[in-house]
Amino acid sequence: MSPPLAAAGTLALGDRAVHRVGLGGGRIPGFADDSSAALVLRRALDLGVNLIDTADIYGRGLSETRIAAALHPYPEDLVIATKGGFVPSGAGPVPDGRPQHLRDACEGSLRRLRLDTIELYQLHTPDPAVPFEESLGALVELREQGKVRDLGLSNVTAEQLARARELTPIVSVQNAYNIRRHRRFGADAVLAACERAGIVFLASQPLAAGRLPGEEALLLVASRHAATPGQVALAWLLQCSPGVLPIPGTRSVRHLEENVAAPSVSLSAEDVAELELPADTGSG
């Protein structure tokens, strides 16, 4: 295992312990072939990554299929999290929180991942056309049937998280969060709610979809630490809250190794203040 990853400790995701840098599966469909994807996936496990997050919408199932092709049978400590609640359309993914769709989506994920039970199944997004409680109820049924172990939410507000927790235990929330968003919008209400409840916050888009590396503050702090801007951005996330678990995606073994080494970057109070200075950084 990567020493920095081991030193960063673990978080309790349900009854499983996961290291504090995971691997996002959104870029897995972008590999040229299965073998190229397998190189990154297997290297992630070598480095100690034991949480891989994916979704049925990523490559219309290709991300899940490639994860299984590379890693099945899975190591006992590996948690594969996936999501359902979007469907493809000509204009891009659109929400579909109908209970029957979510049941079908889960069955498809089980089949592609070659699993009997999904460790963490997440509602990918609330559907404004479907009552939130109906969508969540479908996931509760899946858990009662043994098809999923724990439930998570994605792309939710603090109010939706509170409503969900009135109905069922929630072990994680996955929302976009990064230093760019923090500068623009300030403290995150959903992250604060997760902190109070002891819920893991899976930070998606931790590198702002690649829009961070050229930012001046990141470059300056990175130069002080002999680190990359991406490592500094991940280190900031790890230090901003003990419950944050970034899930950067990548199609490069080199970038994967850089990401997993990010916990070795220890930011000073001066570094953090400089990074958090409000700036006109555009959309997060």
Instruction: Determine contact, residues 233/215, Cβ cutoff 8 Å.
Output: no
Number of domains in the chain: 1
pLDDT at 213: 55
**Catalytic residue list:** 58
- Mean local confidence (pLDDT), 52-71: 98
Q: Judge whether residue 125 has pLDDT over 90.
A: yes
Q: Which residues 6+ apart lie within 8 Å of 41 measured at CB?
A: 23, 28, 52, 66, 67, 70, 71
Q: Which of 75-89, 206-220, 261-275 has the lowest mean pLDDT?
A: 206-220
% of the chain residues with pLDDT over 70: 96
Distance (Å) of CA 248 to CA 13, 206, 208, 266:
18, 6, 9, 19
Q: Which of 43-47, 99-103, 161-165, 279-283 has the lowest mean pLDDT?
A: 279-283
- Mean local confidence (pLDDT), 80-108: 97
Q: How confident is the model at residue 278 (pLDDT cuts 50, 70, 90)?
A: confident
Looking at every residue in the chain, the average pLDDT score rounds to: 95
Asked if residue 280 belongs to a domain, the reply is no
Distance (Å) of CA 122 to CA 202, 214, 224:
11, 33, 39
pTM for this predicted structure: 0.96
Domain housing 104:
3-275
Q: Judge whether residue 211 has pLDDT over 90.
A: no
Asked if residue 281 belongs to a domain, the reply is no
- Mean local confidence (pLDDT), 89-93: 91
Q: What are residue 123's DSSP bridge partners?
A: 84, 153
pLDDT at 279: 64
Query: Rounded to whole angstroms, how far apart are CA atoms 60 and 264?
Result: 36
pLDDT at 275: 94
Asked if residue 284 belongs to a domain, the reply is no
Give per-residue pLDDT as tens, 143-158.
999 999 999 999 999 9
- Mean local confidence (pLDDT), 14-26: 98
Asked if residue 208 belongs to a domain, the reply is yes
Structure tokens belonging to residue 66 = 């490639």
**pLDDT higher at 1 or 86:** 86
Task: Pick the closest to residue 214 from 259, 267, 271, 281 (CA basis).
Answer: 281
Asked if residue 17 belongs to a domain, the reply is yes
pLDDT at 252: 96
pLDDT at 169: 98
HSE-CB of 194 using CA atoms within 13 angstroms: 30
pLDDT at 214: 55
Q: Judge whether residue 283 has pLDDT over 50.
A: no
**Domain containing 220 — which CATH number?**
3.20.20.100
Asked if residue 269 belongs to a domain, the reply is yes
- Mean local confidence (pLDDT), 130-154: 98
pLDDT at 39: 98
Structure tokens belonging to residue 97 = 């929180």
